[in-house]
């Protein structure tokens, strides 16, 4: 019995040690990647916390407003607060109540700072204390009521009395259950400034709850200088009875937000449940709008996005950023990772780049794993994003090189050298030593190659490092005319393939496979295009288990094992390439091939 007890204790100790090592490895993995949401600096945490939006005061102080509650989203105790930071978001003051949790619901705060340093905050307030539909059915009331604002002249320490915006009753309101006596609305985008005018977008609903949405806009031409709030002029746009929407995109058209172009034209983007966001332009200051269309990348492919906030910003250099989730979901779920696309204005149109992962969470739950409602802070040439997981608001500094890469994807034409551990511009040997790849529990790798297929029949092995047990990596063709990567660490197996319809046997193709062990995501970039699933599947990128670790084997790397065609070049990196780096490699390879053809 003593021996048995000793053996059990010994094995339990071993298990505990290995569990501790794994926990340490996962902690190192978390701590090493700034894209991990857990590495953000905390702003505020509560039962519910949303829309942490920041303005920068004249003395450089950040003032952040947010919607919060000790309970849950939509609870009666929902209210708005403000907090400040003087050290780029590292520490924050104790939040100040802008509206009390003991009053009516106050929600969806959006701040604006004017030329005098006065800070306004615009929000929805349930001023009529509406609790039920006309038929007596109890309702959630945080989108019901008045559009209000307060202001602060002391950087958020104290706030003025409440003021109400003149929201016109329109056809949308008259169609709701209260026949226009009550309005349903909210906003998710900070006010923007162009020259001497301020604008912000908001959504009205024609039916409770979350049906028949349309976009509206407030414009003021003197709020930036006027000190007497009774003299502030307000225009609610567009003109007429109907807001920004198109019947072809269905009932759900909401969370409109805007930026201005260089000449003052206005660009608007908003969400739908079609799996795509929609955009529109106003060329006359918001009075009329172009027919809404599905937003596209510069190459004309639709941008995929679920029912989540597609947030847009204009940066000080005149470029643009789009925050979205890069998949074709139709509901409120799957908001991790978050992706950024960079926008460049050309001939009055914003051209959106291929995207990059900017933040991710290993918590994929609906309750605390959805990253959304971000804001962009730009100061002294640096960039930060604030965001929320619905309970905790955080701030994250974003590498400026990532953004520059997005804005310059069509210009950068060079082979990335950092992390390059194998480089074959021509394939002269079919069997060679495989470079050691990082353990995926704490690292990443990328495979970059040019391939010419004679046909796309299945089971052609392009490269293979697997040993007799199957451990290693393999790239092969599938029955769908795609290329698949297989990963095997001896215990765990993961596979993912590129999008259908991207490969053919007519020309050489640039194929990049990015295996990101920090985010646990595999991304394919084919001929400079990030796979997004196209019309065939919801996602173009795939997740793999956090348990997947060492995919190195003792076997040699075999090339063109059963390839019907030619492997023209191969590069292996011991890190994840940014998609912009993969595209730069493609641009260089394409330019060389075009030179050869001439």
DSSP state of 231: G
Q: Tell me what pLDDT residue 106 has.
A: 98
Q: Tell me what pLDDT residue 596 has.
A: 58
SS3 230: helix
DSSP state of 247: G
Angle ∠(487,493,498) on CA atoms, nearest 5 = 50
**Is 91 among the domain residues?**
no
Q: Are 253 and 270 in contact (CB under 8 A)?
A: yes
Cis amide linkage into residue 70, ω under 30° from 0 = no
List Cβ neighbours of 331 (8 Å cut-off, separation of 6 or more).
Answer: 273, 306, 307
**Is 404 among the domain residues?**
no
Q: What would the pLDDT profile of 407-450 be if each residue is shown by its tens digit?
A: 999 999 999 999 999 999 999 999 999 999 999 999 999 999 99
Q: Tell me what pLDDT residue 3 has.
A: 41
**Is 13 among the domain residues?**
yes
Nearest-angstrom CA–CA distance, 168 and 288:
16
**Is 277 among the domain residues?**
no
Structure tokens at 129: 């204390």
Residue 595 burial (CB count, 10 A): 8
**Residue 22: is it exposed, middle or buried by C-beta count within 10 angstroms (0-12/13-18/19+)?**
middle
**Residue 381: is it exposed, middle or buried by C-beta count within 10 angstroms (0-12/13-18/19+)?**
exposed
Burial annotation 232-250 (CB, 10 A radius, 16+ → b, else e) = beebbbbeeeebbbeeebe
DSSP state of 482: -
Sign of CA dihedral 219, 221, 227, 233: negative
**Residue 103: is it exposed, middle or buried by C-beta count within 10 angstroms (0-12/13-18/19+)?**
middle
Q: Are 507 and 494 in contact (CB under 8 A)?
A: no
Q: Tell me what pLDDT residue 13 has.
A: 44
Q: Are 108 and 101 in contact (CB under 8 A)?
A: no
Structure tokens at 256: 């409109």
Q: Are 477 and 488 in contact (CB under 8 A)?
A: no
What radius of gyration, in Å, describes the C-alpha atoms of the chain?
Answer: 27
List Cβ neighbours of 256 (8 Å cut-off, separation of 6 or more).
Answer: 189, 201, 202, 203, 215, 216, 217, 244, 268, 269, 270
Q: How many domains, the chain?
A: 2
User: Residue 69's beta-bridge partner residues?
Assistant: 48
User: Residue 516's beta-bridge partner residues?
Assistant: 444, 521
pTM: 0.94
CA 106 → CA 129, 141, 146, 472, distances in Å?
11, 10, 10, 55
SS3 478: coil
* pLDDT averages per 10-residue partition of the chain, 598 residues: 41 41 44 92 98 98 98 96 98 98 98 98 98 97 98 98 98 98 97 97 97 98 98 98 98 98 98 98 98 98 98 98 98 98 98 98 96 98 97 98 98 98 97 98 97 98 98 98 98 98 97 98 98 97 98 97 98 98 98 74
**Is 286 among the domain residues?**
no
Structure tokens at 359: 């933040």
Structure tokens at 38: 């857990």
**Is 481 among the domain residues?**
yes
Q: Tell me what pLDDT residue 594 has.
A: 85
Q: What would the pLDDT profile of 459-493 be if each residue is shown by its tens digit?
A: 999 999 999 999 999 999 999 999 999 999 999 99
**Among the listed residues 76, 187, 80, 202, the one whose alpha carbon sits nearest the alpha carbon of residue 139:** 76
Owning domain of residue 473: 420-597
Nearest-angstrom CA–CA distance, 224 and 493:
59
CATH number where 472 lies = 2.60.120.200
**Is 446 among the domain residues?**
yes
**Is 250 among the domain residues?**
no
């Amino acid at each position: 019995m003593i021996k048995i007890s000793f053996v059990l204790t010994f094995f339990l100790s071993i298990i505990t040690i290995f569990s501790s090592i794994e926990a340490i490895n996962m902690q190192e993995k978390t701590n090493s990647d700034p894209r991990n949401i857990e590495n953000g600096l905390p702003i505020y945490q509560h039962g519910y916390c949303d829309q942490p939006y920041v303005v920068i005061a004249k003395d450089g102080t950040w003032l952040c407003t947010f919607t919060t509650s000790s309970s849950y989203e939509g609870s009666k105790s929902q209210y708005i607060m403000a907090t400040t930071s003087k050290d780029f978001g590292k520490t924050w003051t104790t939040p100040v109540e802008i509206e009390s949790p003991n009053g009516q619901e106050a929600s969806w705060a959006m701040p604006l700072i004017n030329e005098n340093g006065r800070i306004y905050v615009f929000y929805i307030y349930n001023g009529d204390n509406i609790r039920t539909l006309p038929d007596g059915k109890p309702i959630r009331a945080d989108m019901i009521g008045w559009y209000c604002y307060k202001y602060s002249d002391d950087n958020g320490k104290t706030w003025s009395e409440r003021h109400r915006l003149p929201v016109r009753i329109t056809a949308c309101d008259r169609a709701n259950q209260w026949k226009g006596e009550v309005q349903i609305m909210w906003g998710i985008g900070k006010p923007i400034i162009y020259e001497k005018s301020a604008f912000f977008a908001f959504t009205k609903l024609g039916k409770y709850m979350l049906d028949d949405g349309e976009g509206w806009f407030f414009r003021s031409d003197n709020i930036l200088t006027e000190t007497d709030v009774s003299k502030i002029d307000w225009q609610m746009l567009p003109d007429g009875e109907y807001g920004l929407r198109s019947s072809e995109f269905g009932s759900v058209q909401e969370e409109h937000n805007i930026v201005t172009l260089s000449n003052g034209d206005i660009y608007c983007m908003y969400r739908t449940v079609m799996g795509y966001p929609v955009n529109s332009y106003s060329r006359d200051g918001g009075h009329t709008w172009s027919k809404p269309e599905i937003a596209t990348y510069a190459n004309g492919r639709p941008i995929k996005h679920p029912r989540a906030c597609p947030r847009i910003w204009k940066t000080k250099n005149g470029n643009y950023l789009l925050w979205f989730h890069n998949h074709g979901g139709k509901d409120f779920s799957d908001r991790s990772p978050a992706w950024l696309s960079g926008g460049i204005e050309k001939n009055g149109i914003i051209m959106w780049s291929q995207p990059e992962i900017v933040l991710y969470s290993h918590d994929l739950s609906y309750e605390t794993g959805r990253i959304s409602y971000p804001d962009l802070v730009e100061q002294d040439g640096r960039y930060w994003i604030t965001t929320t997981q619905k309970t905790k608001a955080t701030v994250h500094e974003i590498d400026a090189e990532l953004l520059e890469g997005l804005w310059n994807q069509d210009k950068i034409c060079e082979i990335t050298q950092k992390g390059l551990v194998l480089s074959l511009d021509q394939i002269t040997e079919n069997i060679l030593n495989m470079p050691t790849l990082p353990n995926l529990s704490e690292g990443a790798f990328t495979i970059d190659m040019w391939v010419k297929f004679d046909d796309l029949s299945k089971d052609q092995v392009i490269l293979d490092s697997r040993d007799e047990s199957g451990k290693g990596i393999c790239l092969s063709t599938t029955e769908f005319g795609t290329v698949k990567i297989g990963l095997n660490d001896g215990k765990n197996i993961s596979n993912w393939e590129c999008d259908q319809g991207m490969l053919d046997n007519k020309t050489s193709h640039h194929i990049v496979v990015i295996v990101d062990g920090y985010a646990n995501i595999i991304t394919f970039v084919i001929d400079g295009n990030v796979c997004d699933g196209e019309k065939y599947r919801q996602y173009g990128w795939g997740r793999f288990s956090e348990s997947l670790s060492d995919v190195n084997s003792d076997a040699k790397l075999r090339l063109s094992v059963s390839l019907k065609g030619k492997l023209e070049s191969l590069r292996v990196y011991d890190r994840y390439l940014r998609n912009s780096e993969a595209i730069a490699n493609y641009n260089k390879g394409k330019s060389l091939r075009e030179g050869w053809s001439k």
